[in-house]
Amino acid sequence: MNTNTSILVIYTGGTIGMINDEKTNSLVPFNFEHLYSHIPVLRRYPFQIDFHSFDPIIDSSDMSPDFLVELAHIIEDNYESYDGFVVLHGTDTMAYTASVLSFMLDNLNKPVVFTGSQLPLGMLRTDGRENFIAAVEIAAAQKDDVPLVPEVCVYFENHLFRGNRTIKFNSKNFNAFLSGNYPPLATVGIDVKYNDNLITKPNFKKLKVSYSLDNNIAILKLYPGISQQAVNTILQIKGLKGVILETFGSGNAPSAEWFLQELETAINQGIIIFNVTQCKEGSVDSGKYKAGLLLKNIGVISGYDITTESAIAKMMYLFGKNFDIETVKKMLSEPLRGEMTVTEK
């Protein structure tokens, strides 16, 4: 470990930061002076660890574009002073935040490792201690002064995942996150085993941050029996620019005339429809079934194996750029930050 290494820990809120207040016997957010008393082993790391806490801290269910912008600002403002960043974040929307940050931070050449916990740091059986220590170690890991994982990632329960590939899939087990379509970037056992061939290589260009996020988007999740009124109501939202269409299996949808007509009308009005599968593993394959081909034929864009979380992030980011509609469609169809794998022509 390099003694010149410095890590900035950014605390946004969430379960990990809770300790028991002995006076009231209830869970309250800790302040960072308490951190070393809860994780004394941190003192043994030979590098510098500094802290920045949001004020107020939030339950991650309250995550908003403004908060994301502030988080990106903290990273940009401190980018030259630190070798890596650890973001302590509630688990509920961690996958969304990590996805959005991965798009906002263009030319990222340093680790931004999100972590949190299912049990508060102040509880004896907490998973927060191990998650926190490993996240710091990963954020500081370098070879020949180059960070090993210059990506936005999520560390949880022995696994380091690419952030924009994750979803929260379990609300009670310690392994709360899943990356169904991309293997872990690293696994932690006795050693930390980095899967170098899966990790994005640094490009050594200057960090460029996009602060404009456009949330004129919606999710339309299909289910057997969905009514025309439900579909129409979503597609008629004022100012709507893009819809994530959560489809069945490999990207399939009802073949009813009214349904395709609703979508086609919306597309003709300039709304982009992005096909994302409801499956946690696997990809949209528009040519496989007629039910998928019909969508492709009316101009629905394939999201391949992207997660819904990442699709939302990508749309907010691209619409925020004010590109013309054809550029947005093109950029949705190709991976920008390793968020999807294109499998068909």
Residues with catalytic annotation? 15
d(CA 253, CA 43) in angstroms, rounded, equals: 55
Shortest Å distance, C-beta 185 to ligand ASP: 22
- Residue 161 DSSP label: E
Number of residues that bind ligand ASP (CB under 6 A): 10
Beta bridge partners of 27: 20
The three-state (H, E, C) secondary structure of 255-268, written as one string: CCHHHHHHHHHHHH
Binder of ligand ASP out of 5, 60, 166, 179 (CB under 6 A) = 60
Task: Determine, following the binding rule CB under 6 A, whether residue 184 of this chain makes contact with ligand ASP.
Answer: no
Q: Does 173 bind ligand ASP (CB under 6 A)?
A: no
Query: Within positions 116 to 135, which residues make up the interface with ligand ASP, using CB under 6 A?
Result: 116
Applying CB under 6 A, which part among 42-50, 54-62, 201-209, 242-250 lies near ligand ASP? 54-62
Q: Is the separation of the CB atoms in 84 and 140 below 8 Å?
A: yes
Determine, following the binding rule CB under 6 A, whether residue 269 of this chain makes contact with ligand ASP.
Answer: no
Hey, what are 264's tokens? 């086609």
How many distinct helices (H) and strands (E) make up the chain? 9, 20
Contact characters 3-32, ligand ASP, x per CB under 6 A: ----------xxx-----------------
- 91 touches ligand ASP (CB under 6 A): yes
Contact yes or no for 176/114 (Cβ under 8 A): no
Instruction: Pick left, alpha or beta for residue 95 (phi over 0 → left; psi -120 to 50 → alpha; otherwise beta).
Output: alpha
Which residue is nearest to ligand ASP, using beta carbons? 90
The answer to the question of residue 84 lying near ligand ASP (CB under 6 A) is no
Kindly report the number of other CB atoms within 10 A of residue 222's CB atom. 17
Judged by the rule CB under 6 A, the positions of this chain that interact with ligand ASP are 13-15, 59-61, 90-92, 116
